[in-house]
Amino acid sequence: MYTKTIDFSKYSSIRIGQPTQVLMIEKDDLIPKERYLIGGANNLLISPTPPSLMMLSKDFAYIVQEGTMLEVGAAMPSGRIVSYAKKHDMGGFEFCAKLPGTMGGMLAMNAGVKTYEIFNILHSIEINGEWIPKEKINHGYRFAKLGGVATAARFQIKRKYDYSLQSALLKLRINQPSEPSAGSAFKNPQGDSAGRLIEAVGLKGYRKGDMAWSTVHANFLINLGEGTYKDATYLLDLAKEKVKAQFGILLQEEIKLL
């Protein structure tokens, strides 16, 4: 293992943070328990005082086929997974198209689009060096309790990449803003939409400093230039407070605050 300085104001998708020392884990390293594991930082909001961080090195960015099973390392970016699936005509990964992040991040939050989620197509996950069937992992909408560090995932290979499904799923996401963000800020409550609720309490487009609720999609917290952690958390708290007061619904963050 080795340390690497990562500037989160450039590395994270929301462009907030500062240069931070991150421990890089290599294959066969003993993984520390006291550090927080990060991936592509696509759903992270890094504070000025984050916990001790670690990241899987390129040793874990691989894809191999073993018989009817596909194994994907946890550091593998989603874009390269989709490219592999297309090249080898494998179905199931269509929803990953233009879904930012790494395999590890997708596993940790059961990432997906609508009803298409990573756990739907998953066979098992390597956690702390042991392969665990997905049925033994507590998971649901945008969460998975892995109980350790996921280093790889396995999928039963199925045929035919469905381009029409990919096109339909991409159309569902055309209303997402282009400015730096960390994706959906809140999980959708049962039977409702966080974006609708935030808009209904009058916060769509509302700005604090250089952070704002997007005018394109109210559930996206966007950075208009020099956004700060303080202004971002102010807007998150304000949305939770107003939605709770008006609708009695407590919004839950999908974005991870460190």
181 is catalytic: no
Q: Give Cβ neighbours of residue 206 (< 8 Å, ≥ 6 apart).
A: 212, 213, 235, 238
The residue annotated as part of the active site, out of 35, 80, 142, 196, is: 142
Tell which residue, 184, 185, 162, has the closest CA to residue 234: 185
Q: Give Cβ neighbours of residue 165 (< 8 Å, ≥ 6 apart).
A: 94, 95
The residue annotated as part of the active site, out of 12, 124, 184, 214, is: 184
35 is catalytic: no
- The whole-angstrom separation of Cα 66 and Cα 223 is 43
Distances (CA, A) of 140 to 24, 107, 145, 169, 187: 29, 11, 9, 20, 12
12 is catalytic: no
- The residues that are catalytic are 142, 184, 254
